[in-house]
């Protein structure tokens, strides 16, 4: 009985999946069609091999009927041999066709997945900053990985199985009718007696399965969060607390799963019992027909094989439909990304920026809010201009809008009112790539990628020669520590540059900016103090970078501020004062207060 329990259990699963089916939820699958239709030859070959394999597999039971009636019953060994050879020949064709069908549909599946993944990734990179403000990166990568994996697992095999099963059902039913219309009618009438109770019961299972999945999702979200923050967990000695929390959630998931399994066990029992009753009924009815002489023994055997093929195919279809439903869900989540339009795109008729660059920046009565419905703007009526080669420092308390100013300048967001001009041209009239080529941006906490040092420096100019990379590295004082590394520029720096010190990371980011060689430098000075030696090296690297470039700097260091041609004092999104350091100090007031509190003076101590 245990041997039977295995297929019976998987059948119940399939039937449960069928019960979950809601046809309209399969609609998103249509979006996969264009990806498949892009490969018409492979698709046509798949259909061809599918038909050949289905037809040949239907021919074999017909041979079986002949073997029994003309071979076994008449005890004619020659006939058995003839049919045997025929079956072997048909099986050879069927094997070749099935293998080819599997190969072609799987290859199409892989191709579709690769194309879809690429389309989503490319599209995501084009979307604007606002999109990433409102969508969690973790969720997006999970869509890119998880949803693609779900589709990948199903597209090739499930489509193949669904097509083959549908053809088999139609073929087997036709052959059943041809073999014995009366027996077919009996089967068709008896089938609902089994299906109805099973479907009704499996509805209960549906809700349970969702609860298990929710509990599991909760568990994996917690693991991702905690494993990404092991240092914080250890530092606050929360290992045991978090482990306990994880355990209690894990137990929830376990209990939900046990409940579901118990319910499924009942379903398996129902399926085994009703299935056996049906089989006994069919054998009894078939035997009666043989005794009456309305069918031969061979025809009965043939009929039963077709009936088994049809029921196998039916359970396959139901299983596939269940799988396709989750594929539809994943497809929907991915196409949602593809359907999102970037709020910031290239203008319809772009204007060219002057060549060579004028190196000027102008904010003209700019107002801006991240949330368009907000009543108080983040920047309010901000106007200033930076001439070629000038250094302008932005200072102000936390949250006053300094980083926002640099984001707007690179057109990560569009201004709500007013205009920003670079080299005399409104940002919104310039192609995004052309605009951003004008800036070298050094972030406060520079992004270091998991590749090698050379790859990190080359990030903005992938075709730079080794000599150019080294020249930039020398200017940024990166070369000195690189030569001491065993693999030099080919040293892998680890995710987020974990193998580098804070000062080294900053110099690496400066080398990257030097190599980009853009006319306007946007600099967000690090607030965290480096030791004096590191600080001096970063300062020297920055001086190389600033040479001959227009610079807009969010300043935290007194040295930068002293050297600036102009200081803009921001407060709550407004420029409350501007001038040189000496002028502003002489005025006293807000700037002098701020300077005392905020600016790092370690270099003057
Ligand atoms: N992506 C965002 N979405 C919504 N609000 C934001 C976003 N970025 C910043 N803000 C808000 O805009 C205001 C200005 O932030 P901004 O980062 O420009 O200030 P800042 O002067 O650079 O501050 P800090 O010196 O602390 O970096 C803050 O109130 C902040 O909460």
For 146-157, what is each residue's pLDDT tens digit?
788 878 877 777
Which residue's CA lies nearest to atom 18 of ligand 1? 401
Measured distance between the N- and C-terminal CA atoms of the chain, rounded to whole angstroms? 86
Out of 344, 396, 399, give the residue to mutate to test ligand 1, the one with the largest number of ligand atoms within 8 Å of its CB: 399
d(CA 61, CA 306): 7
Q: Tens digits of per-residue pLDDT, 9-31?
A: 444 444 444 444 444 567 788 88
For residue 179, what pLDDT is reported? 86
Which residue's CA lies nearest to atom 30 of ligand 1? 399
- Closest atom, ligand 1, to C-alpha of 130: 1
Percent of the chain whose predicted confidence (pLDDT) is above 90: 20
Angle between helices 40-66 and 77-126 (to 10 degrees): 160
Q: How far is the CA of 121 from the centre of ligand 1 (A)?
A: 27
Q: How far is the CA of 394 from the centre of ligand 1 (A)?
A: 14
Which residue's CA lies nearest to atom 3 of ligand 1? 370
Which residue's CA lies nearest to atom 8 of ligand 1? 404
Which residue's CA lies nearest to atom 13 of ligand 1? 399
Does position 405 have pLDDT exceeding 70, yes or no?
A: yes
- Closest atom, ligand 1, to C-alpha of 444: 27
Q: How far is the CA of 405 from the centre of ligand 1 (A)?
A: 10
Q: How far is the CA of 469 from the centre of ligand 1 (A)?
A: 34
**Lowest-confidence pick of 271-280, 314-323, 541-550:** 314-323
Q: Which two tokens stand for residue 218?
A: 């909760």
- Closest atom, ligand 1, to C-alpha of 371: 4
The answer to whether the bond into 136 is cis (omega within 30° of 0) is no
Q: How far is the CA of 133 from the centre of ligand 1 (A)?
A: 12
Does position 93 have pLDDT exceeding 90, yes or no?
A: yes
Which residue's CA lies nearest to atom 6 of ligand 1? 370
Does position 254 have pLDDT exceeding 80, yes or no?
A: yes
Q: Which two tokens stand for residue 151?
A: 């589709």
Which residue's CA lies nearest to atom 24 of ligand 1? 398
- Closest atom, ligand 1, to C-alpha of 527: 25
Out of 402, 406, 408, give the residue to mutate to test ligand 1, the one with the largest number of ligand atoms within 8 Å of its CB: 402
Which residue's CA lies nearest to atom 29 of ligand 1? 399
Q: Are 520 and 359 in contact, with CB atoms under 8 Å apart?
A: yes
Which residue's CA lies nearest to atom 9 of ligand 1? 404
Q: How confident is the model at residue 44 (pLDDT cuts 50, 70, 90)?
A: very high
Does position 95 have pLDDT exceeding 90, yes or no?
A: yes
Of 545, 535, 556, 523, nearest to 442 by C-alpha is 523
Q: How confident is the model at residue 115 (pLDDT cuts 50, 70, 90)?
A: very high
What residues contact 506, with CB distance under 8 A and at least 6 apart? 442, 446, 526, 530, 538, 541
Mean pLDDT of the chain: 83
Q: How far is the CA of 401 from the centre of ligand 1 (A)?
A: 6
For residue 1, what pLDDT is reported? 33
For residue 15, what pLDDT is reported? 44
Which of residues 295 and 520 earns the better pLDDT score? Answer: 520
Q: Which two tokens stand for residue 238?
A: 């929360």
Of 548, 456, 556, 450, nearest to 511 by C-alpha is 456
d(CA 57, CA 309): 10
- Closest atom, ligand 1, to C-alpha of 396: 21
Out of 343, 395, 400, 576, give the residue to mutate to test ligand 1, the one with the largest number of ligand atoms within 8 Å of its CB: 400
Of 382, 417, 338, nearest to 575 by C-alpha is 382
**Lowest-confidence pick of 22-26, 111-115, 199-203:** 22-26
| Placement of tokens 């407004």 in the chain | 574
Q: Which long-range contacts does 4-12 make (Cβ < 8 Å, 24+ apart)?
A: 4/272, 5/268, 5/272, 8/268, 8/271, 8/272, 8/275, 9/264, 9/268, 11/271, 11/275, 11/315, 12/198, 12/202, 12/264, 12/267, 12/268, 12/270, 12/271
Angle between helices 2-20 and 181-227 (to 10 degrees): 80
581 to each of 134, 377, 576, 592, how far by Cα in Å? 39, 28, 14, 9
For the segment 302-319, the average pLDDT, to the nearest whole number, is: 83
Which residue's CA lies nearest to atom 28 of ligand 1? 399
For the segment 128-151, the average pLDDT, to the nearest whole number, is: 78
d(CA 15, CA 267): 10
Which of residues 1 and 204 earns the better pLDDT score? Answer: 204
d(CA 460, CA 457): 8
For residue 443, what pLDDT is reported? 86
Out of 396, 401, 412, 552, give the residue to mutate to test ligand 1, the one with the largest number of ligand atoms within 8 Å of its CB: 401
d(CA 331, CA 329): 5
Angle between helices 181-227 and 239-292 (to 10 degrees): 170
- Closest atom, ligand 1, to C-alpha of 404: 18
Q: How far is the CA of 399 from the centre of ligand 1 (A)?
A: 5
Out of 132, 378, 574, give the residue to mutate to test ligand 1, the one with the largest number of ligand atoms within 8 Å of its CB: 378
Q: How confident is the model at residue 496 (pLDDT cuts 50, 70, 90)?
A: low
CB count in 10 Å sphere of residue 533: 9
In the chain, helix, strand, coil percent, each to 5? 70, 10, 20
Q: How far is the CA of 340 from the centre of ligand 1 (A)?
A: 25
d(CA 513, CA 498): 20
For residue 49, what pLDDT is reported? 92
Whether ipTM > 0.90 holds is yes
Which residue's CA lies nearest to atom 5 of ligand 1? 370
d(CA 167, CA 45): 16
For residue 352, what pLDDT is reported? 92
- Pocket lining for ligand 1, CB < 6 angstroms: 133, 370, 378, 396, 398-404
For residue 283, what pLDDT is reported? 85
CB count in 10 Å sphere of residue 43: 15
């Amino acid at each position: 009985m245990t041997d039977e329990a295995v297929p019976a259990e998987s059948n119940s699963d399939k039937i449960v999946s069928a019960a979950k089916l809601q046809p309209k939820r399969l609609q998103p699958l249509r979006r996969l069609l264009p990806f498949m239709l892009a490969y018409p030859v492979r698709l046509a070959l798949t259909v061809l091999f599918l038909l050949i394999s289905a037809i040949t597999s239907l021919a074999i039971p017909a041979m079986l009927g002949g073997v029994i009636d003309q071979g076994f019953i008449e005890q004619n060994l020659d006939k058995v041999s003839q049919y045997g050879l025929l079956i072997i020949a048909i099986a050879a064709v069927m094997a070749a066709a099935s293998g080819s069908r599997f190969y072609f549909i799987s290859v199409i599946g892989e191709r579709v997945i690769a194309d879809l993944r690429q389309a989503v990734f490319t599209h995501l990179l084009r979307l604007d900053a606002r999109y990433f403000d409102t969508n969690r990166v973790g969720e997006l990568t999970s869509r890119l990985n998880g949803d693609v994996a779900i589709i990948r697992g199903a597209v090739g095999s499930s489509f193949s199985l669904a097509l083959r099963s549908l053809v088999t059902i139609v073929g087997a039913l036709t052959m059943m009718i041809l073999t014995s219309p009366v027996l077919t009618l009996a089967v068709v009438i008896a089938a609902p007696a089994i299906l109805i109770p099973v479907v009704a019961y499996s509805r209960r299972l549906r809700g349970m399965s969702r609860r298990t999945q929710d509990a599991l999702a909760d568990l994996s979200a917690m693991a991702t969060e905690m494993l990404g923050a092991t240092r914080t967990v250890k530092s606050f000695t929360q290992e045991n607390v978090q482990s306990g929390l994880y355990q209690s959630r894990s137990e929830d998931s376990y209990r939900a799963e046990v409940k579901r399994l118990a319910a499924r066990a009942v379903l398996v029992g129902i399926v085994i019992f009703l299935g056996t009753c049906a089989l006994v009924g069919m054998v009894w009815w078939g035997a009666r027909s043989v005794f009456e002489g309305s069918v031969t023994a061979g025809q009965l055997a043939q009929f039963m094989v077709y009936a088994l093929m049809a029921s196998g195919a039916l359970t396959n279809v139901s299983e596939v439909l269940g799988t396709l439903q989750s594929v539809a869900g994943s497809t929907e989540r991915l196409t949602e990304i593809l359907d999102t339009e970037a709020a910031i795109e290239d203008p319809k008729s772009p204007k060219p920026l002057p060549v060579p660059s004028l190196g000027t920046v102008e904010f003209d009565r700019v107002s801006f809010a991240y949330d368009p419905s907000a009543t108080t703007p983040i920047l309010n009526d901000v106007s200033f201009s930076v001439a070629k080669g000038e250094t302008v420092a932005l200072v102000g308390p936390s949250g006053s809008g300094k980083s926002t100013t640099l984001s707007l300048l690179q057109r990560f967001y569009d201004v709500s009112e007013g205009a920003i001009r670079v080299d005399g041209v409104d940002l919104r009239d310039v192609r995004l790539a052309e605009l951003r080529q004008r800036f070298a941006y050094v972030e406060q906490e520079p992004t270091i990628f998991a590749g090698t040092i050379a790859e990190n420096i080359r990030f903005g100019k992938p075709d730079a020669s080794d000599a150019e990379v080294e020249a930039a590295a020398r200017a940024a004082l990166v070369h000195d520590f690189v030569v001491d590394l065993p693999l030099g520029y080919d040293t892998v720096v680890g995710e987020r540059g974990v193998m580098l010190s804070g000062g080294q990371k900053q110099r690496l980011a400066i080398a990257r900016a030097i190599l980009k060689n853009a006319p306007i430098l946007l600099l967000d000075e690090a607030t965290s103090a480096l030791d004096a030696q590191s600080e001096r090296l970063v300062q020297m690297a920055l001086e190389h970078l600033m040479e001959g470039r227009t610079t807009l700097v969010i300043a935290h260091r007194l040295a930068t501020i002293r050297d600036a041609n102009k200081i803009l004092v921001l407060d709550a999104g407004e420029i409350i004062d501007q001038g040189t350091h000496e002028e502003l100090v002489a005025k006293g007031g807000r700037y002098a207060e701020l300077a005392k509190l905020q600016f790092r003076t370690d270099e003057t101590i």
